[in-house]
Chains A and B, each alone.
Chain A
């Protein structure tokens, strides 16, 4: 399944137009589902950047959801500033937090980083439940989001979802991205080849904090309510892990597919409240056993399918010193 470039561009533009016009033809329920898909897509994409590319398996991404959400709540509710101010401030606050947190937890590697990130997130939860400024565990009502229509929300989610995909795609196309992919394939060797491991990982961590924080802010703005036990719940990260694992870790397409599967599945499983988590778990297990690299990983192995190619290829044609190219000229 290899498309050439113009066809790919045409298909992408077509999909984008269909998505942009969805509020014109989709039902409210349908649009709400897509809002969730795009928000979860951005979160999954960022977890994938960390775990799939940078080798940082974080179980603490919920802290950026929480901090992003609380930043929006404090800016819009406590200080009564317009909602766009909240949405601009939130990702920067998260990035700053990530920078500070990186100092201790980047000293840990592998499993220790995973546990460390989780502990920081749990500590953050405890801190917020005991902080009078954010009304302890009672939480906030965020009324700024009430002015948003469904179309507004949809467009914001769309920008966030597509934007997160583009950020990862563009990052991987740069010099920095080649280092990320080399690091993904073999950290030890990439270090010998001159990739600056610490800085590369830190950049990934900061990017993921920025966008996850934005998604967390938007999510809570749309919900109109924030409460620490939900905002800092590990369920967020578990969801990201689920999407990325079943979609395909270390691929751009994986989290996109994962977000669709997760949200649709969740909508359907709402009818089975008691057993829904069991079913999620069973699905994750089956996919891990049958396709350890996820659905997209399986497809890539079988067919070489790549929707977003980050491959670099030799651009300048070689001088015609080879017999086959010489014969073509004549």
Chain B
């Protein structure tokens, strides 16, 4: 069953038509990978889905209800969680407090409930030993984990990942993949923007390729990555054909 269906999504900044028409469906507990060259509008799409930007056209239907006009705040409460491409933790708060912010403000929990939830989440994402460390002092992998943790604390149904694996080593990527698998088993769906191919092949159920503001192709990861459309997008069309 589709938890989220997006149709005809478009946004323009003046005469710059960043997204022209994006259509896709996300099924429950599915991981949908999103690839595409720089400037294809991947992050912009994520910003529209979370409500940070308003689309100029198109509709977003979430669990049967049209949420195109809903605010950032409402969508957070409805079950949208996200991470940022460049991790942006609250630097003068500890890892534990960062996760609590997600629970208290993203899910309306009491301080006590958010606290116990935060320790569960820190355990899950492997940051428990560093719970008391200032987020500003964490390394890149830990910051990326923390991004996931804060997003998780708001009890999301859909997690939007903006390049969580970028800049990590192979073994670190595996750790992120394991976290995703665990969450999937708990009933979370994902939209996952990434450049790292390994994550796309191993971590996703389907992959969508965005280019020039449109969804070019969508399907099984291995097929999409091998498809003619994707090689055209990345390498340019062969002029002889």
Contacts and interface: CB of A to CB of B under 8 A. Distances in A.
Contacts of A184: 92
A195 B105 contact: yes
A314 B115 contact: yes
Given A185-B90, A194-B73, A313 B132 contact: yes
Nearest to A197: B73
A179 B101 contact: yes
Interface residues of A, number: 26
B73 A314 contact: no
Select the residue from B100, B101, B118, B131 with max chain A CB neighbours within 10 A: B101
A191 B101 CA distance: 11
Given A186-B88, A194-B106, A178 B97 contact: yes
A103 interface: no
Interface in A173-195: 174-175, 178-179, 181-182, 184-186, 188-195
17 contacts: A178-B97, A178-B111, A179-B105, A181-B90, A182-B90, A182-B105, A185-B89, A185-B93, A188-B88, A192-B50, A193-B101, A193-B150, A194-B104, A194-B154, A314-B115, A316-B119, A318-B128
A315 B116 CA distance: 9
Contacts of B101: 178-179, 182, 190, 193, 195
A312 interface: yes
B97 A312 contact: yes
Nearest to B50: A192
B92 A175 contact: no
B111 A193 contact: no
B52 interface: yes
Task: State the 6 A-B residue pairs at the shortest beta-carbon distance, nearest first.
Answer: A194-B105, A185-B90, A194-B106, A189-B88, A194-B76, A195-B105
B94 interface: yes
B96 A314 contact: yes
Nearest to A304: B134
Contacts of A250: 92
B80 to A, nearest CB: 10
Given A178-B97, A179-B101, A189 B92 contact: no
B144 interface: no
Contacts of A2: none
A316 B105 CA distance: 22
B227 interface: no
A193 B100 contact: no
Interface residues of B, number: 36
Contacts of B76: 192-194
Contacts of B96: 312-314
B154 A193 contact: yes
B97 A311 contact: yes
A196 interface: yes
A185 B73 CA distance: 19
A70 to B, nearest CB: 38
Contacts of A318: 119, 123, 128
Interface in B91-134: 91-94, 96-97, 100-102, 104-107, 110-111, 115-116, 118-119, 123, 128, 131-132
A272 to B, nearest CB: 39
B145 interface: no
A193 B102 contact: yes
Contacts of B206: none
A192 B89 CA distance: 12
A140 to B, nearest CB: 44
A154 B99 CA distance: 43
Contacts of A196: 73, 105
B138 to A, nearest CB: 13
Given A191-B72, A314-B115, A179 B90 contact: no
Interface string A97-120: 000000000000000000000000
A186 B86 CA distance: 13
Nearest to A321: B123
